[in-house]
Amino acid sequence: MDGGLHLIMRSAMGAAGGDFAMVALRVDDKRLVIQDAVGPLAEDMVGNLMLIEQSVAEPVLRTGEPRLVTDYPVRGAAAPPVRRQIGCVIMAPLTDGARVTGALAVGRLVDRPIFDEDDLAALVRLVEASAAAREVEVAHDERRLAQLVEERARIRDDLHDNVIQEIFAATMALQAIADRLGGSEVAQQIGRQVSALDATTERIRGLISDLPTGPENPESMPLPKRLVAIVDSVTAALRCLPTVQFVGPVDAAVTGELALDLEAVLREALSNVARHAAAGAVQVQVVASDERLVLEVVDDGRGLGEPTRRSGLDTIARRAQRHGGTLRFSTPESGGTRLTWDVPLA
Any idea which architecture 3-130 has in CATH?
2-Layer Sandwich (3.30)
Q: What are the residue ranges spanned by the domains of the chain? A: 3-130, 146-216, 222-344
CATH topology of domain 222-344: Heat Shock Protein 90 (3.30.565)
Q: What is the pLDDT of residue 272?
A: 87
Residue 202 pLDDT: 82
Sheet holding 99-109, edge to edge: 67-69, 86-96, 99-109, 20-26, 31-38, 49-51, 243-247, 282-288, 292-299, 337-344, 326-330
Closest CA to 226 of 9, 14, 49, 10: 49
Instruction: Please give the average pLDDT of every successive group of 10 residues along the chain, which has 346 residues.
Output: 75 92 90 90 88 93 94 86 92 85 93 94 88 65 66 70 80 87 86 87 75 54 88 87 93 92 92 86 93 95 61 85 94 91 92
Instruction: Output the pLDDT for position 308.
Output: 47
Note the pTM of the prediction, 2 decimals.
0.73
CA pair distance 284, 94, nearest whole angstrom: 27
| pLDDT value for 200 | 86
**Side-chain-side CA neighbours of residue 124 (13 Å):** 13
Three-class HEC string of the chain: CCHHHHHHHHHHHHHHCCCEEEEEEECCCCEEEEEEEECCCHHHHCCCEEEHHHCCCHHHHHHCCCEEECCHHHHCCCCHHHHCCEEEEEEEEEEECCEEEEEEEEEEECCCCCCCHHHHHHHHHHHHHCCHHHHHHHHHHHHHHHHHHHHHHHHHHHHHHHHHHHHHHHHHHHHHHHHHHCCCHHHHHHHHHHHHHHHHHHHHHHHHHHCCCHHHCHHHCCHHHHHHHHHHHHHHHHCCCCEEEEECCHHHHCCHHHHHHHHHHHHHHHHHHHHHCCCCCEEEEEEECCCEEEEEEEECCCCCCCCCCHHHHHHHHHHHHCCCCEEEEECCCCCCEEEEEEEECC
Q: How far apart are CA 22 and CA 108, in angstroms?
A: 12
Q: What integer pLDDT is reported at residue 130 of this predicted model?
A: 79
